[in-house]
């Protein structure tokens, strides 16, 4: 069931046939929407530095923490029911609903006269993000807050509030041109609609294309097997089997990594960090915020490129390893030079902050929303992502409430404690994580089930040398040449994760 105009497999205004255009717009819709939280984070960071914002809302350490935590409170509320809702209305309609709620929240914040209204606006922000574009909007937000900081009065922070709605409105328009998830359509029994959706992203709308048919067959066979084995799209299903529990553990571990590695100290309290390091001028802090956002965006792009070369697990280990080292360095430099007048020491502290954030961006940033959907199979994906969201929420609330008080109370020791925790996370990833590089979602399912001595398809298993499951190939009338053509034509597009 979807909203009127969003019931079909294709977008309400999807009049074109080109698969390249469809893929580009689908990715664009996801990426533009992902920038909303990126803007929020850098925006909160920036306006927390602005004297006019603090004076208008009379912020204290406690209310500043509550303000930063408001977005996570929204996630906590939504995490309790987002899985069933998205399974019912569809992926595309779910994004539409979240956009509308986001715009409502922007209106509340723009007219805020006190911290209660300003906090309440953030609660509708409730969807998962593509973190690379999170950083793009973070860069935009950093630049906007820097420029508006030169405006006298309350408009120095109200104007950036208004600009939050621009990206949401743009995404709303793009959403009219993209198809619904073929896996969701197939799960609802709308097999012909699922085929039409796949054809729009694989073969310029040609539903008889071999590549389209084999992709459709993979999806249908996987869903049929899940039904025949008693798998249901419920929260209980997430805990029913050892395989599902391990999938959930890995998905939640990614949320913990994303929120408890120390990056939230920089993301929300950069001003406080820089003050501790000896840089108290608000204009200088805003300039550093801009450069830091640009640096993280560049590094995240590099990390995204290497995901399919080095692999997910390797990139995560590299990221966490360097984060641990550089956060220890931040703590040591802050202890020695913090609050002093040694210019070289202050610069070294700022440089170590940049290196730490770069270490986070190269691995954790792209993995945050890449790895969980890969390890969660379809029957538990939406509810598993709801659990991921709840874990993100808990980690975020802990970070934004605890760190400002910790920084005020124990200063540099805060970084040392967090760095020690990062070392524990490194060991966890090294021991428990499963590599998913180069595999389709169906192949990843078989890999998990093989670890628990079951074969997802009840067939001879997974063909590790090819890109097509042997069990799936046996159920199709497409010959080997067509399978080879499928691989060469790049059947594993970005839309395979829909």
Q: State pLDDT tens for residues 184-216.
A: 888 888 899 989 888 988 888 889 999 889 889
Pair 99, 168: CB distance under 8 Å: yes
> What single string gives the DSSP state of each residue in 240-267?
TSHHHHHHHHHHHHHHHHHHHSSHHHHH
Query: What is the pLDDT at residue 251?
Result: 93
Tokens 């969003």 correspond to 6
Ordered domains of the chain (ranges, CATH): 12-181 (1.20.1250.20), 220-437 (1.20.1250.20)
Angle between helix 19-49 and helix 191-202 axes, rounded to 10 deg: 80
Query: What is the pLDDT at residue 76?
Result: 65
Whole-model pTM? Answer: 0.66
Query: What is the pLDDT at residue 277?
Result: 72
SS3 state of residue 153: coil
| Residue stretches of the chain with pLDDT short of 50 | 38-39, 112-135, 454-498
Tokens 């954030």 correspond to 357
State the Cα–Cα distance between residues 103 and 436, nearest whole angstrom.
36
Query: What is the pLDDT at residue 486?
Result: 40
Q: Dihedral sign for Cα 237, 240, 242, 248, please.
A: positive
Query: What is the pLDDT at residue 358?
Result: 92
Query: What is the pLDDT at residue 391?
Result: 87
| Helices within 150-209 (DSSP H only) | 155-174, 182-187, 191-202
Query: What is the pLDDT at residue 146?
Result: 55
Residues contacting residue 202 through CB under 8 Å, at least 6 positions apart: 19, 209, 211, 212, 215, 491, 493, 495
Query: What is the pLDDT at residue 15?
Result: 79
Pair 40, 164: CB distance under 8 Å: yes
């Amino acid at each position: 069931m979807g909203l009127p105009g969003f019931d079909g497999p294709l977008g309400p205004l999807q009049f074109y046939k080109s698969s390249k255009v469809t893929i580009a717009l689908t990715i664009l819709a996801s990426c533009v929407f992902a920038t909303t939280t990126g803007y929020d984070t850098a925006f909160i960071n920036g306006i927390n530095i602005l004297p006019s914002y603090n004076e208008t809302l009379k912020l204290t350490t406690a209310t500043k923490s509550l303000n930063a935590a408001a977005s996570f409170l929204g996630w906590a509320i939504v995490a309790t029911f987002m899985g069933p809702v998205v399974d019912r209305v569809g992926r595309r309609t779910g994004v539409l609903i979240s956009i509308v709620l986001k715009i409502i929240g922007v209106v509340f914040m723009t007219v805020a006269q006190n911290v209660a209204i300003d906090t309440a606006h953030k609660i509708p922000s409730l969807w998962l993000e593509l973190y690379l574009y999170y950083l793009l909007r973070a860069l935009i937000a950093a630049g906007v807050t820097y420029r508006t900081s030169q405006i006298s009065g309350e408009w120095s922070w109200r104007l950036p509030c208004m600009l939050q709605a621009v990206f949401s409105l743009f995404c709303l328009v793009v959403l009219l041109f993209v198809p619904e998830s073929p896996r969701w359509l197939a799960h609802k029994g709308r097999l012909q609609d699922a085929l039409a959706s796949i054809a729009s992203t694989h073969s310029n709308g040609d539903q008889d294309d071999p590549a389209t048919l084999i992709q459709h067959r993979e999806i249908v066979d996987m869903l049929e097997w899940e039904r025949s084995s008693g798998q249901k799209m419920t929260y209980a299903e997430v805990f029913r089997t050892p395989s599902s529990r391990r999938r959930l553990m890995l998905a939640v571990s990614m949320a913990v990594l994303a929120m408890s590695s120390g990056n939230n100290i920089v993301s929300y309290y950069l001003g406080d960090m820089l003050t501790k390091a000896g840089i108290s001028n608000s204009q200088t802090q805003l300039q550093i915020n801009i450069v830091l956002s640009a640096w993280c965006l560049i590094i995240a792009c590099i990390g995204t490129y290497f995901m399919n070369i080095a692999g997910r697990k390797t990139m995560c280990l590299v990221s966490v390893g360097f984060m641990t080292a550089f956060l220890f360095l931040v703590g040591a430099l802050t202890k020695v030079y913090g609050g002093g007048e040694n210019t070289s020491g202050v610069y070294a502290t700022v440089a170590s902050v940049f290196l730490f954030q770069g270490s986070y961006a190269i691995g954790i940033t792209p993995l945050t929303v890449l790895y969980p959907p890969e390890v969660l199979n379809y029957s538990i994906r939406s509810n598993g992502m709801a659990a991921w969201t709840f874990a993100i929420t808990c980690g975020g609330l802990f970070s934004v409430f605890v760190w400002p008080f910790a920084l005020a109370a124990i200063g540099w020791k805060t970084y040392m404690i967090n760095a020690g925790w990062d070392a524990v996370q490194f060991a966890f990833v090294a021991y428990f994580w499963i590599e998913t590089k180069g595999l389709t979602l169906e192949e990843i399912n078989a890999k998990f089930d093989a670890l628990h001595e079951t074969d997802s398809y009840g067939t001879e298993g997974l063909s590790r040398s090819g890109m097509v499951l042997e069990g799936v190939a046996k159920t199709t009338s497409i010959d080997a040449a067509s399978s080879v053509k499928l691989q060469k034509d790049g059947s594993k597009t970005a839309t395979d994760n829909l």
